[in-house]
Amino acid sequence: MNQNNADKAKETLESVIKNVPTKLIIIAGIAIFVLIFFRPWVQVGAGQRGVVLDFGAVQKEVMPEGLHLLIPVMQKVAIMDVRMQKVEMDAAAASADLQDISTRVALNYHVVPDKANVVYQNIGVHFGERIIDPAIQEVVKAVTAKYTAEELITKRAIVGEAMRQALAERLIANNIAVDAFSIMTFSFSKVFTEAIESKQTAEQLALKAKRDLDRIKIEAEQKITAARAEAESLRLQRANISTDLIELRKIEANMKAIEKWNGILPQVTGGGAIPLIGLGDTPKRLKQ
């Protein structure tokens, strides 16, 4: 049964082929050959631009993302990546005080999409090694030479911004935009590193000594202030003491002693005289 179906299908196909004009078959064959061999279309992917070449000459048209038709043989398309790219590299330079500095930097950049054809025409697809790397080396050397080695550490943000601006100006002239720039590390000579560490240690010790001295001064001033206050208090007390005050204090003491006396004289005395406290000082009290 299956063999019969296959035979019928073969016969039907042969009948159709016999009924189709020969010219139409030839045209269809040529069309298929052209589509397969010449591929008269191009697909521009995400984050890319197509540079149109007519017999190798760069055209003003820049193809955006998507599928585009081409004229076979005449036109070709070069694909340019316009997404953000990153490069890290080391750059050797000398500071303003002639210290050897090794700097590792990171740069994010991208080709200006509308100028992809200009970049392709003037630089090509290898613009990284032709434009980016030399620009980084030159900018790092130029900016580093304006600062001392110590300033490169203490003013790192300012130095990084100066390098970013200089790079942006140089690269935009070639239709390459700078997205971000950062200084990853500064490396100094061993002698300079040890000198910096010694200086920091000395500054820390000096700061500690200054703080200790300030603390000692404050404590001494506090003691002087307390002594002055005590001396002033004693002076005021001496100024307020008079003969009448002394007599009054004696009378108050004798009155307290008399109030505590129970009126009984002691039976035995050691010296023969009866001790009475300050009787001469309180005549009015005894008379009462």
Write out the residue range of the structural domain in which residue 65 sits.
Answer: 2-81
3-state secondary structure of 258: helix
- Do both 172 and 89 map to the same domain? yes
Contact 49, 15 (CB under 8 A): no
Question: Is residue 208 assigned to a domain?
Answer: no
- Measured over the CA atoms of residue 78, residue 79, residue 85 and residue 89, the dihedral's sign is negative
3-state secondary structure of 201: helix
Provide the residue type at 34 as one letter: V
- Do both 77 and 90 map to the same domain? no
In this predicted structure, the answer to whether residue 18 has a pLDDT above a threshold of 80 is: no
- Do both 89 and 37 map to the same domain? no
- Do both 34 and 50 map to the same domain? yes
pLDDT recorded at residue 240: 64
Question: Is residue 200 assigned to a domain?
Answer: no
- Mean pLDDT of the 203-208 span: 75
pLDDT recorded at residue 279: 46
Q: What predicted TM-score, i.e. pTM, was given to this entire model?
A: 0.57
**Helices and strands counted in the chain (H then E):** 10, 8
- Do both 184 and 102 map to the same domain? yes
Question: Is residue 177 assigned to a domain?
Answer: yes
Question: Is residue 116 assigned to a domain?
Answer: yes
Instruction: Give the residue from 271, 77, 105, 94 showing the smallest Cα distance to 192.
Output: 94
User: pLDDT: is 240 or 95 the higher one?
Assistant: 95
- Do both 18 and 69 map to the same domain? yes
- Do both 11 and 69 map to the same domain? yes
Tally of domains in the chain: 2
- Do both 74 and 151 map to the same domain? no
d(CA 133, CA 114): 23
Length, in residues, of the chain: 288
- Measured over the CA atoms of residue 92, residue 93, residue 99 and residue 102, the dihedral's sign is negative
The backbone torsions φ and ψ at residue 56, rounded to the nearest 5 degrees and listed phi first, read 90, -10
In this predicted structure, the answer to whether residue 79 has a pLDDT above a threshold of 60 is: yes
